[in-house]
Chains A and B, each alone.
Chain A
Amino acid sequence: MVWGQYANFQCFSNSVKNVVGTTEKAHFRNELILSEPQMDNPPSATLSPPPWEVLVLVAHYLDPKTLAIASCVSNSWSSSMSSDHLWIPFLTAHFPSLSNLPSSSADAVSCRRLFGIGHSAVKRRRKNPTKLKLSLADLVFAVSISSADSSVFSVTKSGESLVMDPPGVFRFDVGFGSDGAAVEESLKEVKITWNVILKGWREVFTMMSCKGKINFVAGAEGWFSKELPAPGCCSSAVGSAVVADMYVGLMCGGKRSNGKVKVNKVSVGILSVVDWRYISVQDGLRYLQHFLLT
């Protein structure tokens, strides 16, 4: 009995029409046979403006960006989409540091506006590095160390031939071994200069030009550094976080040198004073770009 009744249900059929038709008709009045989905409506080309109830419902469903777009569409849309209670959750979620502003300030501000300015603040803080147009091959490094009476060390090296030490950072060996003159062992006051020249003698930037003391003894080392100016529009009060840095290493001249020493190794680089690391080659080139390329 049960299965027989069952067979009539035809539960596998797509439309409920069959189920309704065979057994249920007698029980219900004004019964409508549910038909297949309407296929005769043409695809909707135009919508009418949605009523405010729809706007209010939809507003709860939207993400901040879509909500902001929607609030600019029309007056009625704006009143549904700008209300504070919609924007407060977004504000507290994305910019918690701004979320106490509406209540604390005497000057009323809408949460929607706060979210907007919070969003643009993040964009502005996210520094987009400027496009790098300078490469090492465009540069010439000129380093010289001179004492009161004579030049101790002087070298001019094209950027391509510079060796990064260590690789990837803006620090280079500019000369070692035989480039320098032999000097008597003593403590001397020296003048150190490091210039970076744009190839073809188009521009020059003086990285460091300062006086210091080197104890000209075999195996001695000297470190020199000079603050670099801040690139861009800030006044000198807002300093840069980098210094030009030079290392001078001395070697003994050996038996035949008559107690004279030579400069063995010279390295120059740009050092960040924030974390005491040499900056990357790209950052160094970007820094120089400010001063060498207009």
Chain B
Amino acid sequence: MTQLDRLSVYHWLNAWCIKPVGGALVRQEPEYILLALMGSPLKKIMLCSSEKEIFSVEEQVMVQHSVIINNMIEDGSYNHEESKIPLDCVDSKTLKKVIDYCTHHTHHHNDNQEDLEAWDAQFLNVDSNGLYDLLMAANYLEIRNLLDLIYGTIKNMIKGKKIDEIRRIFNIKDHGFTPEEEEQNRKEYPHFY
């Protein structure tokens, strides 16, 4: 399938994306029709976390979101039958979350903006380190929309707040400045305190 020009087939199939299901005419995702026509099952890829746990994901889902994985598959180095993609920087818990995110956004990309945002907000309700692990994983895998989401969240935690508030939010007990440095900061940016 990698030899075919996916884009042109996609466009052709877009015109044929109507399939009767149970008597009703329903719009069908072209990728699935394409795969079905090619006679192959839904292409899956295997991701291996740092803890050596294997996760099976639809190829389309990961390829759509992660630039790194897309590049790996595009240049043909990934053999669907045997290979698995090792992700030594990402632990199982985080990888599971990342896959969750990508899958939801692929299958729900037609949803309205509010629903997606609500899901995203719920998605980010993780414990303290989970958020940072997600950020590192999204950075490693180059998942642009997840990165923007997490950056935006952290930025909102800092933006427009006083320094003491930020220290409380991020649980920074000791700011580590010498008294002179702290004094200088207060003089330079009095409105931040």
Give residues in A with beta carbon < 8 Å to B: 2-3, 5-7, 9, 11-12, 14, 16, 19-20, 23-24, 27-32, 34, 37-39, 41-44, 46-51, 53-54, 57-58, 61-62, 65-66, 68-70, 72-78, 113, 116
Contact = CB atoms under 8 A, between A and B. Distances in A.
Interface of B: 19, 21, 26, 28-29, 32-33, 36-37, 39, 41-42, 44, 46, 53-58, 96-97, 99-100, 103-104, 107-108, 119, 122-123, 125-129, 131-132, 135-136, 139, 151, 154-155, 157-159, 161, 163, 166-167, 169-172, 174-177, 185, 188-189, 192-193
B29 A11 contact: yes
Contacts of A9: 32, 36, 42
A34 B189 contact: no
B58 A16 contact: yes
Contact of B185 (A5, A41, A72): A72
Contacts of A14: 107-108
B161 A47 contact: no
Nearest to B131: A47
Contacts of B104: 37
Contact of A70 (B21, B53, B151, B158): B158
A5 B36 contact: yes
A24 B41 contact: yes
Contacts of B57: 34
22 contacts: A3-B19, A5-B36, A9-B42, A14-B108, A28-B44, A30-B54, A37-B122, A43-B125, A46-B171, A47-B157, A47-B171, A48-B129, A57-B139, A58-B154, A65-B159, A69-B159, A72-B192, A72-B193, A74-B172, A75-B175, A75-B176, A76-B176
A44 B153 CA distance: 13
B170 A116 contact: no
Contacts of A51: 132
A75 B139 contact: no
B136 A53 contact: yes
A51 B134 CA distance: 13
